Amino acid sequence: MTKPPGRWAAVPRFPLTKAIRKAFPLAATKRGIRKPEIVSEQLCDDILTRISPYLLRNRPVDILDLWPGAGLWSSKVNDFLRPRRHVLIEPHQGYRPLLEPLAQSRPGYDLQFMDISAIQDWPSLMSKHLPEQSAANRDESGALARNDTLLVLANPPPSATKNNHYTPARWWTAFMESCLRQTGIHTYGSVRLLMTLPLLDVQAILPHNITDRKRPAIMAEDVAQHAFAVASSKDTTNYWTTYKWWDQLVDNAARVARKTAEAKVVTPEGREYPPLTLAPESPDPGTKPAPYTPRANTAGHDRIMELIMLEPSFADPSGPHKRARNGRVLRSNQEATRAWIMLNEDNRHTFMRRQLLDLLEQIAKLNQALSRAAADPSTDPSTLRSTQEEIATLQTTYAKQCSETHYKALKQFPGLCDDWRASSPGGNPDNAVLLWERRPFEPLLIQPDELFPRESDRTMVYFEADPNACAARKLHELPPGDRDAPLECSEALTLTLGSRNHMTVPELLDVILPGRPVNDIVRAVPSLAMFANRTLKPDFDTLPKTVHGSPSDMAAGKKPDPALCFQENLDYDLSDVRVRALSTETLWDLFIEYQKSDRKLSPVQLNRLLGGTLTSFKSGEYRESPTKFH
């Protein structure tokens, strides 16, 4: 039997793999090569073809290339764009034999070996190595200045040890933050980025479900016009799908396919990203049968089915098997039996959660109907009371069903519920909270041997800032001296969501707007209304039926939808709404309300009141002298 080649073995059809192995001796390979390298020229060509409409629309003339590694991707981008200057900054001296010949091949290259994490003054570095980069390149036609003359390529390595928490996702977060603040690389305007990073980090910056939406993702949503995966290795686990409903996944994939077809985007043969498949049905529903409930297949399901098939009565149901007196088949393989029980439980819990969601969907539709009817002068008050009673009945049924549902089934439900709310705010999937759900196409598939070492995973992400990004626009409307408070509030909240992912909207409001009535806040931030439970005010029939929409919609002359706006004759309840389901626009409206209030807290106070934690660098404690007790 031929032994398969190791992950460090050179691949004959990719000569670069041999050069990388030569540059890194065998004894130092695992220590030296910390990040996978693209070794396929065809992959580079396919990526550039896919991304060319975004790069050539405003062709960059300079390239800042961070962690270029072996240099194949760098050389391909250079050949494609023919930039004026291409600065390569690589911290690892091991890549010198590979990068020096590349740097000498064309006059525009400038190769520098330095520690990228130690660079604090990017404007000075750019003035030295990219002298044409200056304030003259700023396009200030929008709230967020742009600099289309510079493209950044980044291929940061993963953390060297578990103690090093500066992951590629954190580098991305710093890049997004400096984009909003127009500092660092973005001093002369926001620049475009092509970045490669591991699948684990992609789930942090472009999460596929709302549960994984934390600081890196929200910072990107604040400023991005485009942020999507261009090419990616296959996700072999698909565990993120456990927080998505199957119909959501199907509808989203169909919507992306339509956009791809309308844009006439062609996917080369062999680059089609594999679609999700359904989880398997159980060979026997067991003693607590539940209807098969569609859900995505994961690596866990594959392993369960492998174990189940070890049981002869499952592998060959029609064969002769020992039976008990009551006729039930006697299972001989305990491991297979446990796996079978797990599969049945998984299906049963999914079915229970689906029943709960069906109730929430009915309640949401009735809330919308109540809002629209309450805004209609011709509606009979008895009709409104009847709708409210129907909502109350369903809420009682929902609470009773939750109390009767096993806690294991309920554990995932808040995440699934929030994901359902965020996937189609106001019934419009084009306004989905997650950038991933708004992707223009599926990523190109990266074959396993196109990365070195093998058995690696990598995703390439494209980012381009929005000149009229919500966060920038709202900050731009404030005097410069008033911009610190909303920025500090945003930072405190996003730093907290990692540890307090289940924070509700009332918990946030109690910190930033204490004592302010919920109705008053919904009036100021009408987009909160779409998530709220609504009830009629006691004197609703004597109150005005005025509908208050967002100021931007009102200024644009859009007719407000009462279901998505504030109304004088309704009370609003946000107690079941979690912060992670709110769009960045809604969050920034709340941050602006905090700025307008008399509530002024330091960043450390804000963070601690929200229940978060800070590093010594963030809190400023690293600048303090240690206390002496003797």
Confirm if 490 and 176 have CB atoms less than 8 A apart: no
pLDDT for residue 628: 47
Tokens of 575: 């107690």
User: What angle in degrees, to the nearest 10, is found between the helix axes of 484-496 and 584-596?
Assistant: 130
How far is residue 116's CA from residue 87's CA, in Å, rounded to a whole number? 13
How far is residue 227's CA from residue 461's CA, in Å, rounded to a whole number? 7
pLDDT for residue 426: 82
How far is residue 173's CA from residue 156's CA, in Å, rounded to a whole number? 13
pLDDT for residue 469: 95
Tokens of 178: 């400096």
How far is residue 458's CA from residue 104's CA, in Å, rounded to a whole number? 28
pLDDT for residue 370: 95
Q: 568-595 as b/e, with b when 16 or more CB fall inside 10 Å?
A: bbbbbebebbbbbbbbbbbbbbbbbbbb
How far is residue 493's CA from residue 491's CA, in Å, rounded to a whole number? 6
Domain layout of the chain by residue ranges? 15-234+442-465, 299-429, 478-612
Architecture of domain 15-234+442-465: 3-Layer(aba) Sandwich (3.40)
How far is residue 366's CA from residue 387's CA, in Å, rounded to a whole number? 7
Amino acid identity, residue 32?
A: G
- Encode pLDDT of 289-299 as tens digits: 999 999 999 99
Q: Which of 570, 496, 565, 586 minimizes the C-alpha distance to 538?
A: 570
Q: Could you please report the per-residue DSSP string of 56-89?
A: HTT--SEEEEES-TT-HHHHHHHHHH--SEEEEE
Tokens of 154: 């980044």
Neighbouring CB atoms inside 10 A of 425's CB total 21
Peptide bond into 168 cis (omega under 30): no
* pTM score, whole prediction: 0.93
β strands within 378-526, DSSP E: 444-446, 451-452, 459-465
pLDDT for residue 553: 72
- Encode pLDDT of 149-185 as tens digits: 999 999 999 877 767 778 999 999 999 999 999 999 9
pLDDT for residue 629: 45
Q: Spell out the SS3 assignment of 567-582.
A: ECCEEEECCCCEHHHC
| Residue entry with tokens 């998984």 | 346
pLDDT for residue 564: 92
| Residue entry with tokens 């004026």 | 84
Q: Which residues of the chain have pLDDT under 70?
A: 1-4, 25-34, 162, 313, 315-332, 555-556, 613-630
Q: Is the dihedral of CA 283, 287, 293, 299 positive or negative?
A: negative
Confirm if 209 and 415 have CB atoms less than 8 A apart: yes
